[in-house]
């Protein structure tokens, strides 16, 4: 059982990655972002997740530069945007991310989507492998990749991702992907762990569990994710919610709780199927959400 907010999973290459972190997707106001990062650090968070597509890497860099905790104590993740995929552009965009983040080494660098219509994700992966071999990034991985995307990377480069970050929540728990990742030494990480703001839709199931433990529905779901050994990066810009989200290490879900949450699975996801994602336009914009 994961008992501390700063506890880490060990990636395949021995790098330690915190189980719990802060996501900053859609945070566009600089003061708000800096305050959120500082609040998270004060609350014990030691992992921060951003991306080129979020158009806030420069803000994250400023937040880290003024953080109450030194940069080398923060596990920093960023991601290559769809429109920047390719071998040369992947290397160039990594350098740009480092400049914006004011860091020489990023802890985890990910390809955000496979985007099959442009079919450059293998070339992008080769760029990430080079960055890793040159020790310019501590770990490399992917986002939103299915099994067949990962298998193609391995077939063409001989190198598997260390992390696969995917949409994952009670309606869409990604059980098959989690099993595949475990079998292949890949750490699964959940984005939108709280249903992308739709937690109220499953409140009738969660609230009795939350009352039993003296917790909130959000805390129950985050604890459930960690119990499955899935890394979580809930997003919030409010200090009270940031503290609340991180206060999940003093209770345990029982078998009945977990069975009730497992029964919520219905295949609903809020971002596109990775096989159908074709968008590679300007960072900071996204296509309409797929609610299949």
Rounded distance, CA 33 to CA 65, Å?
13
Q: Note if 54 is an active site residue.
A: yes
Which residue is catalytic, options 45, 54, 94, 191? 54
Pairing of strands 187-191, 163-167: parallel
Q: Does residue 279 contact residue 250 with C-beta atoms inside 8 Å? A: no
Q: Which two tokens stand for residue 278?
A: 């074709």
- Cα dihedral value 218, 224, 228, 232, nearest 10: 20
Q: Angle of helix 147-157 relative to helix 121-133, nearest 10 degrees?
A: 60
Distances (CA, A) of 82 to 44, 90, 93, 287: 32, 10, 11, 12
Return the active site residues: 54
């Amino acid at each position: 059982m994961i008992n501390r907010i700063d506890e880490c999973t060990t990636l395949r290459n021995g790098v330690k990655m915190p189980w719990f972190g802060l996501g900053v997707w859609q945070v566009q106001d600089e003061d708000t972002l800096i305050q959120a990062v500082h609040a998270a650090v004060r609350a014990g968070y030691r992992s921060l997740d951003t991306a080129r597509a979020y158009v806030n890497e420069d803000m994250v860099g400023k937040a880290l530069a003024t953080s109450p905790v030194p940069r080398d104590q923060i596990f920093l993740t960023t991601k290559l945007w769809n429109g920047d995929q390719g071998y040369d552009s992947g290397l160039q965009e990594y350098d740009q991310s480092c400049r914006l983040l004011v860091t020489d080494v990023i802890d985890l660098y990910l390809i955000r989507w496979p985007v099959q219509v442009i079919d450059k994700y293998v070339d992008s992966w080769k760029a990430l492998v080079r960055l890793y071999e040159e020790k310019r990034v501590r770990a490399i991985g992917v986002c939103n990749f299915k099994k067949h995307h990962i298998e193609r990377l391995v077939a063409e480069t001989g190198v598997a991702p260390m992390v696969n970050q995917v949409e994952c929540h009670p309606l869409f728990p990604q059980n098959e992907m989690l099993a595949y990742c475990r079998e292949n030494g890949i750490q699964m990480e959940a984005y939108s762990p709280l249903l992308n703001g739709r937690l109220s839709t499953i409140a009738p199931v969660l609230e009795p569990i939350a009352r039993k433990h003296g917790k909130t529905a959000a805390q129950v779901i985050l604890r459930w994710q960690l119990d499955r050994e899935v890394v979580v990066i809930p997003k919030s810009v409010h200090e009270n919610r940031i503290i609340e989200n991180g206060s999940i290490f003093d209770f345990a879900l029982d078998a009945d709780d977990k069975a009730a949450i497992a029964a919520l699975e219905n295949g609903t996801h809020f971002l596109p199927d990775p096989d159908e994602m074709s968008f590679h336009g300007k960072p900071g914009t996204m296509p309409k959400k797929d609610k299949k």
